[in-house]
Amino acid sequence: MTERSPSLSAEQGRSAVLALAFLRGALAAGLGLSALAVLVMMLWISSPTPDNGPGGALHTAAALWLLAHGAELIRTDTLGGAPAPVGLVPLLLAVMPVWLVHRAARDALESVEGRPAPPAAGAFAMVSGGYLLVGAAVTFYARGGSLSVYVPSLLFPSAVVVMGAAAAGVWTASGYPIAPPSWAPVRLHEKLARTRFRERAETVCRSAMAGMTVLLGGGALLVAVALVWHAQAVQQSFVQLSGDGEGRVLVLLLALVLVPNAAVWGAAYGLGPGFALGTASAVTPLAFSGRPALPVFPLLAAVPAQGPGTVLNWAAGAVPVAAGVTVAWFTVRRAAPAHAGREEAWSLRETALTAGLGAVGCGVGAAALAAAAGGPLGTGALAEFGPVWWLTGVAALAWTALLGVPVALLLRAWRLRGGDGGWRVAGEAAAVERAPAAQAPAKGPGQVPQGPGGGGRRWWKRSGRRGEDEVAEAVPGPGIVRVSVRASGGVLAAAASPANGGAVPASAADARSDDSELYDFLPTDPWHERTALPGEAGPSVDP
């Protein structure tokens, strides 16, 4: 019904495409809600003593679906009778709805035969609108359950999460553009094109993402080591909390969806600020201080022992060190490629600025994940639970900037070094040219011995001063292959032996004999084969 038929006008076709995008957003919300509802209903059916009927299970599924988007829940059935907030979002539970809305926005921009693709802004608005409309209906339904929704949290962060995922889907479908919008002034486009803005922006994004990946991987490694170290306490906590077989499955599922949260907590611990276990307790590599409000849970049983930290606790600092080195490495991969010369490498200022911006991105990402991984679990002592987002972000920025920038500059200098006198050859810039050839003179004292296959051995000579960009070449003569090579900070001149037994001119031979530098003899490559002499047939080399 939504495909554009020949009887539809252009305006009607656009309206149908936008309606289809709206439907995609609503369908994505329904799929995520249905999947979570099926899981909750299965757990309710398998429970031998359910607390309430299927209506209560569905209300719980609706509340958990809203929690997955970042909404804060209010739990009313507490022991004291006072409502308690629940703001700790299981990050693994949030992956499914975010991926669904991202895919819906991406697929909405696909152009199908017979149906035009909608504009990017229209697809974003329609997909977000359809998804949020279903979210509003679920919010209204969840009011009658034991877990209600704190309404302001639906605007921030829930709506922001949905629109951010939809915007990412539109950006993906558009080919990951990193440039100002089309309506920006032409001067801005020209200026950014001259400064290679896209290349710099891609490098910043890659280095920031790589640094964040190392932080999260290191945090997950710290959690895994802590679980093994406190295996007995973890097992005791699991048995105490789960009880029967169905309870163990539920506790295991809850622990699995909280594993990404634990990885973020581990990263915050390695960065230094650590995390809070209540309003009166903090866990850092230096010390575990205060009186923790520690609920019985397997992942929480792996926290360090109370008191000052030991050398093993301080070893967690290796995680941000690895993240800073990673930011530097991904920056230098583009700033000074492996086989590039000095004229192709970025300047010191550009390299330092790019590494610094990558550190800023890493800090922003760490702060966002820390804010999503923590939250209140009640009132009083449990009002603060998890990392402090701004401290985590500042620590990530400081570690990666103070390590990433100088390491990037050192790696750049190391990559631009050379073996002989600090010079480097850009082999890809070599140009081969066949000089005008007459008959090759007889062999004389200035000849170079030939190698196998009729080719000669090439000798390389360093010339030029630091910072100069010149082109040096062998003096052409009868039967001489001339090779011009551009180098960084110096010039390498290559002269090949004469084709078909020709002699090296006196000027080249004198230059070779008078120079005191070492020469590196290289084997003859197929592309150095000589061209045909006058009257001969043979391969030719295009200069």
Q: Which of 492, 473, 495, 476 is nearest to 484 (CA)?
A: 473
Write down the mean pLDDT value for the chain: 78
| 432 within domain boundaries | yes
**Residue where one domain finishes, among candidates 354, 388, 415:** 415
Q: Are residues 294 and 275 in the same domain?
A: yes
Q: What's the number of domains the chain is made of?
A: 3
Asked if residue 167 has pLDDT above 60, the reply is yes
Asked if residue 363 has pLDDT above 70, the reply is yes
Q: Are residues 72 and 40 in the same domain?
A: yes
| 261 within domain boundaries | yes
| 507 within domain boundaries | yes
pTM of this prediction? 0.74
The most confident of 224-228, 298-302, 449-453, by mean pLDDT = 224-228
Computed over its alpha carbons, how large is the radius of gyration of the chain? 33
Distance CA 366, CA 390 (A): 9
Q: Are residues 218 and 133 in the same domain?
A: no
Cα dihedral sign for 187, 189, 195, 201? positive
Q: Is the CB of residue 324 less than 8 Å from the CB of residue 404?
A: yes
Name, in order, each residue with C-beta under 8 angstroms of 146's C-beta and a sequence gap of 6 or more: 56, 59, 60, 75, 76, 77
**Residue where one domain finishes, among candidates 415, 435, 457:** 415
Distance CA 393, CA 364 (A): 6
Name, in order, each residue with C-beta under 8 angstroms of 107's C-beta and a sequence gap of 6 or more: 24, 169, 173
| 541 within domain boundaries | no
Amino acid found at 86: V
Q: Which of 333, 322, 332 is nearest to 352 (CA)?
A: 332
The most confident of 361-370, 469-478, 492-501, by mean pLDDT = 361-370
Q: What is the pLDDT of residues 61-70, one digit of tens each?
A: 999 999 999 9
Q: What is the pLDDT of residues 93-109, one digit of tens each?
A: 999 999 999 999 999 98
| 1 within domain boundaries | no
Asked if residue 6 has pLDDT above 70, the reply is no
pLDDT at 471: 41
The residue range of the domain holding 87 is 10-177
Alpha helices in 47-159, H assignment, sequence order: 54-68, 91-108, 120-141, 152-153
Distance CA 85, CA 75 (A): 6
Q: Which of 513, 510, 515, 473 is nearest to 491 (CA)?
A: 473
What φ, ψ does residue 283 adopt, rounded to 5°?
Answer: -120, 115
Q: Are residues 31 and 92 in the same domain?
A: yes
Distance CA 364, CA 355 (A): 14
pLDDT (average), residues 194-216: 91
Q: Are residues 483 and 504 in the same domain?
A: yes
| 35 within domain boundaries | yes
